[in-house]
Structure 1
Amino acid sequence: MVLLCLSQHAPGAHDAGTEDDTRMLALKTAEKLLAEVAPGDRKALQALIQLATRQKSMAERVLQDLLPAITDDAGQDDPYLILAIANAYNIVKQPTRSKNILKRTISSIPWTPEKADGLERCWLEVADGQVSSGRVDAAKELLTKVLNHNNSCSAAYQLLGYLAEKEQNYKNAAQNYDNAWSFGGKSDLSVGYKLAHAYLKLKKYPECIVVCRHILKAHPDYPKLKKEILEKAKTNLRT
């Protein structure tokens, strides 16, 4: 639950109009929930909350505090600890070190129910980096691994949808965006926009209009949606 709140705090998790208030509320909620976390996991999760501020001085403090723990037998297999250190490295502009420590979670840490959420988040970070560096096949393989363990992972479907869209495979893109949209509770409007766009490309105009209306109900002035997608879908539906 703590990490769920932190994902809501992440930049871009919401639209600009409500983003700041929502992120602050999510951060405060995460801090309250931390008291309910088992002591063994609390240190890394506390660090992740501190890192949510994106302050370089805080990231340097986290690295100083956590790096010694990563050499311990327990620490080197702790995905939350690795995630916190990787995030701190990114904040202090050391992305190579971040990538290297995250890679440790793919091959050397066995999956267990207790580590499932932490491993999933580490794998998603690695996959996102692979997508950014053009390693598409490696990203797809890792995202498939995520979905094999958690078939309702919205973030994995979203990345797969993005890759399919880049390949202009709009059928595959729509399937993945639809899963991301549904499993995400239809709350991430940017995913809805991408789904509506894929439906438009597939000439699935009724489905496109339904998604557009859902987005506009939550955000009546959602950028570009009416002109670039909804109006085109309605026009094509009439002809």
Structure 2
Amino acid sequence: MRRKLAAGNWKMNGSLSAMAEVQALCEAHPEPKVDMLLCPPATLIWPMASMRGEHPLAVGAQDCHPEDKGAHTGDIAAPMLREAGATAVIVGHSERRADHGESSETVRAKAEAAHRAGLLAVVCVGETLEEREAGRALEVVGEQLAASLPPGSTGETVVVAYEPVWAIGTGKVAGTEEIGEMHGFLREALRKSHPEAADAIRLLYGGSVKGSNAAEIFAVPDVDGALVGGASLTAEQFSPIVTALEGA
């Protein structure tokens, strides 16, 4: 049975003072019934991993380089993230795909680097509004999934996060029927490409998830949790999402 996962992506936000929010989150969920993961900026990985103590909160990164080392100024290798205290890394987020021109082949190389370092790869896929309105949502996401997942991926090495680009940070949320259709499609695609691991790989939904809509989203079949952006920055906003997932 897939264990639910509440993941937070802080993006380019946060400072050392934000560790108080992490402490508050840990205190609100001392023995969580679901997995909890926060992915802060690289500068906060070590402080966050250090201050959580014995709490099972996992700390992740937001990106990694495909190579394990080398002359790549400004980049961070997966083994470095692991050494800093990370146990997971997000790859292929739509903001990386759009802002940095990352292809699905690049995303797969990064996921493979994460696997080599012993990190869980959170592989992101999602369509733009134009692609959805053109009736190409399933086609686009299916192509991204096929090209982004490394061969041999398992439930222990990868999580897939579906984030419709048009719903990220906009306040718009895909309807439950749209979410259900896409997550069902992703599960079937995994059964074809990774038949032995398909039912073990967790599928997250991301896109303006809040405490007020989390329970409805988590009731959709094949939604195993969420990848949350802005609402993960404070314990007040993220805690209700965790609670909703625990009750799903």
Same fold (TM over 0.5): no
For the superposition of Structure 1 and Structure 2, which TM-score range results when normalised by the shorter chain?
0.3 to 0.5
Scaled by the length of structure 1, the TM-score of the pair is 0.33
More strand by share: 2
More helix by share: 1
Scaled by the length of structure 2, the TM-score of the pair is 0.32
